[in-house]
């Protein structure tokens, strides 16, 4: 492996909680409760696909595309307000040390995230200098498990996909890595992420991890 591609939410920082709070606020305004169990279905998918899942949960149908875009934009406004004060204290355990190790060992590093706020969040966390490329929802059209976000990152790094390993916390992301011909490290439960080449329970394990060959 010569390059490492990071997902953002749940891997570098726990912005997933802010996405959930923003979707829950929107759902409440629409008259229903969006709980954490249903929120699990949103991991790794795009904003508009997430909106469809939220609307399905609330049994809301027959909205025009313009109405859906307005709702997605409203939710994103809530989310951006919530993350506007995010700082390096919210970086997940082990990530700074892992990034330092990767840089010292000569790996290329990229972000591969469905979030359209990926670059902004890396800057707020003070991590942007570690990343050679940032691919977020502004640069891709197809959501995971389509591999586009990761293959685009490999392309921007100038690396063949077979030399890249993806760090992910969602089943959709692990599937996307496999579809792109990449190795993967899953962060979380082996029951959910069992298709990854390696699974670790949390990011604190990453600094001492032997990456897949």
Catalytic residues, by residue number, are: 7, 9
Q: Residue 120 and residue 118: Cα distance in Å, rounded?
A: 6
What is the radius of gyration, based on Cα positions, of the chain?
A: 17
Q: Residue 161 and residue 100: Cα distance in Å, rounded?
A: 23
Neighbours of 9 (CB within 10 A): 24
Q: What is the largest CA-CA distance in the chain?
A: 53
Q: Residue 79 and residue 82: Cα distance in Å, rounded?
A: 5
Percent helix, percent strand, percent coil in the chain, to nearest 5: 50, 15, 35
Backbone φ/ψ region at 186: left (φ over 0), alpha (ψ -120 to 50), beta: beta
Ramachandran angles phi, psi of 201, nearest 5°: -70, -30
């Amino acid at each position: 492996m010569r390059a490492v591609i990071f997902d953002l939410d749940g891997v570098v920082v726990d912005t997933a909680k802010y996405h959930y709070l923003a979707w829950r606020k929107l759902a409440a305004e629409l008259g229903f409760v969006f709980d954490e169990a249903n929120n699990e279905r949103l991991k790794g998918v795009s904003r508009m696909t997430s909106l469809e899942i939220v609307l399905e949960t609330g049994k809301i149908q027959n909205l025009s595309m313009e109405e859906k875009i307005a709702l997605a934009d409203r939710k994103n406004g809530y989310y951006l307000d919530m993350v506007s004060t995010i700082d390096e204290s919210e970086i997940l355990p082990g990530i700074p040390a892992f990034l330092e190790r990767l840089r010292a060992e000569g790996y290329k590093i990229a972000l591969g995230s469905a979030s359209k706020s990926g670059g902004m969040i890396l800057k707020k966390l003070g991590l942007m200098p570690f990343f050679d490329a940032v691919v977020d929802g502004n640069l891709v059209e197809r959501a995971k498990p389509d591999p586009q976000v990761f293959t685009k990152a490999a392309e921007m790094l100038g690396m063949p996909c077979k030399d890249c390993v993806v760090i992910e916390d969602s089943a959709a992301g692990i599937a996307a890595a496999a579809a792109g011909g990449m190795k993967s490290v899953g962060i979380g439960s082996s029951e959910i992420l069992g298709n990854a080449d390696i699974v670790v329970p949390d990011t604190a394990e990453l600094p001492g991890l032997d990456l897949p060959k």
